[in-house]
Structure 1
């Protein structure tokens, strides 16, 4: 005699809901990988849509708390929320399946809408369609199996095997999608470019430009350690042999330059410090590299710039846009279409195969990565960040603010008694640093020793040796630029800055033992 259907326990019902949504996401990720369109994955598309709609203060807060792990934090948070919703849907469906099916369908519709918004091409809808079908089918199957689960051990084993099979299948589909998304082999394309030898190399960095033995960074930041702040949940994958730069808009003639044309030109090398507008006082989002590429002014001259053009809009392969005041590009010989850092091709996360680098401006108005287009236009066009309320008139964008940082000793560090060495970094791109001063325990400002100056567009290291008695101490640093401007003590965080960049003086507290 068969055992009648009965409602499954809450744990089993919740697990059925979670596994159904996991199967849907895995199927969508797998199909997106087959399409070579990672952003068509419903999970990633929803994530990108969330990024687009997140208020700027929340984005800045996330960057300040999680740093370059902000994207991982977002995806983890999304996964937790989706799992909780799926579990609740499963529990609500213990007696009848329609609540869970409705939730799965709603999640599928949300993913489909996000894919439509984040991608182009009707074929990308195959990923959310696959996710929807897989989610509904798996939920219906697991729900029926859970309700029909008899008390016999064979029935329980069947239930476990069914749930386990779905879990394994969802994991394999997700992993397969990730592997397929990376099959374009951008790493091989980057290796094929080989070392980059500039026709006009940057001047050598003086040995006294940095004091890593005292605690400062090395003067040139290794590419793998260069800060990264962007909105991309996945790094765009573009091979050099497929990359073409289109220059259009308010120009005399539209031109298209394949990567092979750009790399064959006489390359120049420039030492440039870049800073993120989200960098807090004393923060890590500032780095320096020898960028290699072609002057942007030369490329624009080939296209012929219309006299009424005001703004250079860089467009990435994924449609992301950054607008730079045209006079900042044409008036700075070091503004580059960069294809390399520190002698090697760009890393994928830093814009391979090519990106823009314009010294003296925060990255959100100067540093388009994965560059595919340069459009000459007026300020009537609002790029990505301006559409979200970030300083709507690029002509009024302020340069990077003068700032300084204490790198050693670290906050709350313990150092031996005697002569204590404080060391750090300062920058005032476009002007240059003339001096750095340190105040200990609210005493008088003391001049620090400066590292050798390299270029007005680069940071400058400093150090100060001072005897200190045992106990707790504080140190505050301020910089003075070559125009005589003293770094302000008024504290303004990036979240509240407009964004114009943070201001204030970095202070650390440490103990001498």
Structure 2
């Protein structure tokens, strides 16, 4: 290995150790510089570029971006070393180059941890020191009394430096969850929060899982294009709970998560408050405990769907929420004449807007503060998020810090990138499960049309040549999906071309026209070919 290759290898390896260090120590501040850099790229990327990335890579877009930034960092380090060696720099010039690069890396690392964290000086300072310990150790090995000559010693030094970085990260994890303020934790029981506020405590007993009675003994199970196909050894009648069917009301654990944020912002409930401001008579702020116990708070079962969901995709979920109507909060502030939009502002810089007349006329436009009987999990918007039944999830701002009444038209984040403004959910239906029991075959799934509701679901087993009405389960609420089920006699175990279509509560049948998610949500009938 010549000197240029050797230098490129050393610098590239040092960059790898640095990356290991920052990923290992990330729990200390709740984020890392690579995520910050990826977020900057996302924010400055033109709308068409962001749209292509989402449509091409879907949920892998953000991980791919971070991986690319990491690879670029290693390649840049190796390239700088190779360039310097190739141009025959002398020792003094090399020292100056090392110092300059060191300063840049230290500054970027500290700034990245500062931006990723919650601003607590000791956290991001300690994170910076631990992340840079590995690269610093490699420099000591090279410049100390025992030069790193030979591949074996070089690899040993690299292993030691990487061990220091990872070991420091493990130590950081033990203190990474330390809280800095007084307030409810993400996922804390709402009953416990209320009792703490009242000055009493009661242990959380949890809840027992609802038993499922009609699944039978499944002989085999496989998945075909996100549809669970199974054969069960039972003569029981089909309900709505056979293998592969989603729960009527799910939980936070199985609820989809899609964000434009690469990493979730760290919000300390002890220091957080909701600001209600803008064109209002009396601006005010409320802490989380006050919102959780607000007189207008109520429980709601709501289905949410992502606008980037493809036909038959799984970016749709139903959950139980604790929420406060936004119009109730604005009534306390007194909305001024001339109000146009109600803008929600998030901790990660995200903004969305809803016309004031929509908020004024709808009690179901709410600020959610609980999920599954607990405070919101971090991934679902802790401490508070917007929920608008019947609108795609892009309108439901997470990590809300402010509700602001605007007298002008506000352009939301995704609207500025070419997506529709209103984001009303298209009628959709999808097959989730197909099961055989003897000579009977059941097809089941979910249908949703937002506030319009679902009136009818039809299923075809022959690719759309003939149709049969499926049985519909009563929806968990007026804001939730309906599960459907069709049971048919079918001794033949050959291929079946299953297709589903729905009709909404206004009598409009789901369109067959196939479109992608951009700009207003996907459309088309969902179908799958299965053999039983």
Instruction: Give the structure with the higher percent helix.
Output: 1
Equivalent residue for 1:399, pick from 417, 424, 430: 424
- For structure 1, list consecutive stretches of 5 or more residues without a partner in the other structure: 1-5, 198-204
- The corresponding residue for 1:20 is 14
Q: CA deviation at 1:122?
A: 12
What is the alpha-carbon distance in structure 1 between the residues aligned to residue 449 and residue 158 of structure 2?
59
RMSD over aligned CA atoms reads 4.0
Structure 2 portions without partners, runs of 5+? 195-209, 215-238
Q: How does 1:193-204 map to 2 (within 5 A)?
A: 193-194=190-191
Q: Does 1:164 align with 2:184?
A: no
Shift of 1:27: 6.6
Please give the alpha-carbon distance, in whole angstroms, between the structure 2 residues aligned to 1:487 and 1:509.
20
1:19-168 alignment, distance < 5 Å: 19-25=13-19, 36=29, 38=30, 41-54=32-45, 59=50, 70-92=61-83, 97=94, 149-150=148-149, 159-168=154-163
Equivalent in the alignment of 1:501 = 521
Number of equivalences: 479
Aligned to 1:202: none
Question: TM-score normalized by structure 1?
Answer: 0.79
Aligned with residue 473 of structure 1, among 485, 492, 496: 496
- Report the alpha carbon displacement of residue 159 of structure 1 after superposing the two structures with TM: 3.9
Please list, as runs of the form range in 1=range in 2, the aligned pairs for 1:147-296 lying within 5 A after superposition: 149-150=148-149, 159-175=154-170, 181-184=176-179, 188=185, 190-191=187-188, 193-194=190-191, 211-213=240-242, 215-266=244-295, 267-296=297-326
Q: CA–CA distance in 1 between the matches of 2:37 and 2:306?
A: 25
Which moved further from structure 2: 478-487 or 436-445? 436-445
Q: With structure 2 as the length reference, what TM-score do the two structures score? A: 0.77
CA distance in 2, matches of 1:138, 1:33: 22
How far the C-alpha of 1:446 sits from its partner, in A, is 1.6
1:341 maps onto 2:375 in alignment:
no
8 Å contact kept, 1:278–1:502: yes
Secondary structure at 1:260 match in 2? helix
Query: 2 CA distance for matches of 1:370 and 1:425?
Result: 29
1:386-424 deviations in Å (ceiling 9; x for gaps): 333333xx4xx2411101000013xxxx95772211111
Separation of aligned partners in 1, 2:300 and 2:464? 39
CA distance 1:234–1:176, change in 2 (3 Å) = farther
Aligned match of 1:455? 477
Segment drifting more, 462-471 vs 174-183: 174-183
CA contact (8 A) 1:336 1:358 kept: yes
Q: Deviations over 1:409-453 (max 9, x none)?
A: 3xxxx9577221111100011110000111223312221111113
CA displacement at 1:15 relative to structure 2: 4.0
- Cα distance in 2 for partners of 1:287, 1:196 equals 26
Per-residue displacement from partner, 1:458-509 (whole Å, max 9, x unpaired)?
1011111123323222111110011111100111111xx32x1111110111
Which one of the candidate residues 464, 471, 482 is aligned to 2:486?
464
